[in-house]
Amino acid sequence: MQPDNQTIEMKKLLVILQMLLLGFSSCVIEPEKNNKTNADMEMEKAFTDTLNGEKVQMFRLSNKNGMSVTFSNYGATILSIQVPNKEGNEENVLLGYDSAKDLFAGKSYFGCIVGRYANRIANGKFTIDGQTFTAPQNNGINSLHGGVNSIDKQVWQVKQMNDAISFSIKIKDGENGYPGEMNLNVIYSLREDNSLVIDYAATTDKTTVINVTNHAYFNLTGNPSNTILDHDVMINASRYTPVDSTLIPTGELKSVKGTAFDFTTAKPIGKDIAASEQQLKYGLGYDHNFVLNSSDVKIPAVVVTEKTSGRKMEVFTTEPGVQFYTGNFLDGNEKGRGMAYQYRTGFCLETQHFPDSPNQPSFPTTMLKPGETWKSQTIYRFSTTK
Ligand code: BGC
């Protein structure tokens, strides 16, 4: 029996209603509220936009100890981190843009989440269970940060809680060449001790690879017209992964002892950055993965201090590695906060698995299988020293 026209119309209406309901329940958007200054409202306006019909908005988490962090659902990006210096003045310690339009056009991954495979994969090729997959070669011959228009260039779903904000995204099966539909969730929480906690979780429906991190560029002086060379850095890593000229690890886990890569005791970033070591020439400075001595999230993986501001940042992570990148490719093309960001005015500490792990059987695995949940946690904790 053929359904009559009225029944067909009723069914269509029901489907539309269901879609609307689903849309609302999976995307609860509550932008920031309360106690906004004029500057806050202007920033919020500048970061409100639409992209391919999807709403892009700004969100804020603040605590009682002078820390406030803003986010965009575009790329699940951290837009700014305001933290007090030793005099109690709150300043932004991140490199960032001035508007959503600039964020969309950005090329340096400021503050965003990168994946599904952060860092490089040699020639963009890797094999799972005998099948070869190809990710875009968007960085010379290699694939960088998940390929082209990856999750850093997409609008995420968002849900704001009291002291946390949750972003999620579905990465399509085959997107940028990677197998498996992946559900990825990133939760940022702000604690009263001035810790920004990032909790990651992901699942897949086909065996795939995963390496996801945040790509924030820090400058603890609060003024990124200063270089970062005078920041003191300690990295709890006795080894690092040396690279070839295209920044792909050779496979060796090399001791940092006696090299410019020895940050086991704190030293200024600039102290050895110009040493004549070949590794520094390849990276134009530090752009290397350090093999952390511990993946215990209670032990600092990295400690950075900056004397003029008295700011200190400790990084804790469950990840086995951290990419220490000293902004060597910043060249004044990226602009924001009333300036053009110059060479080495920001540093990144991208907690992650090692670069090119899918092609390096001796590295900790980055494989994720259906039925498993990938989890990772990183904490950036701010304080001051006198
Ligand atoms: C990479 C750098 C790259 C930067 C921005 C870092 O994670 O290691 O080589 O220039 O991201 O893309």
Q: Tell me which residues are annotated as active site.
A: 215, 350
How many Å apart are CA 293 and CA 307, to the nearest integer?
26
Task: Please report, in angstroms and rounded to a whole number, the separation of the first and last CA atoms in the chain.
Answer: 83
* The pairing of beta strand 254-255 with beta strand 321-325: unpaired
Q: Is 164 helix (H, G, I), strand (E, B) or coil?
A: strand
CB 179 within 8 A of CB 132: no
Spans of the chain, pLDDT less than 50? 1-3, 15-16, 19-30, 32
Tell me the sheet residues that pair with 74: 155
CB 329 within 8 A of CB 342: no
Q: What is the pLDDT of residue 9?
A: 59
Q: Which domains does the chain have, with CATH numbers?
A: 1-386 (2.70.98.10)
How many Å apart are CA 85 and CA 155, to the nearest integer?
33
Q: How many Å lie between the centroid of ligand 1 and the Cα of residue 325?
A: 7
Express the helix, strand and coil content of the chain in percent, nearest 5 each. 15, 35, 50
Task: Say yes or no: CB of residue 104 within 6 Å of ligand 1.
Answer: no
Task: Say yes or no: CB of residue 213 within 6 Å of ligand 1.
Answer: no
Q: How many CA atoms lie within 13 Å of 18's alpha carbon, on the beta-carbon side?
A: 6
How many Å apart are CA 149 and CA 238, to the nearest integer?
35
What is the sign, positive or negative, of the torsion defined by CA atoms of 32, 77, 93, 264? positive
Q: What is the pLDDT of residue 284?
A: 97
CB 316 within 8 A of CB 301: yes
How many Å apart are CA 124 and CA 262, to the nearest integer?
30
Q: pLDDT by residue (tens digit) across 191-234?
A: 999 999 999 999 999 999 999 999 999 999 999 999 999 999 99
What pTM value is reported for the model? 0.91
Task: Say yes or no: CB of residue 323 within 6 Å of ligand 1.
Answer: yes
Q: pLDDT by residue (tens digit) across 49-91?
A: 999 999 999 999 999 999 999 999 999 999 999 999 999 999 9
List the residue whose alpha carbon is closest to atom 12 of ligand 1: 108
Residue from 245, 348, 353 whose mutation best tests the ligand 1 pocket (most atoms within 8 A of CB): 348
Q: What is the pLDDT of residue 25?
A: 36
Task: Say yes or no: CB of residue 287 within 6 Å of ligand 1.
Answer: yes
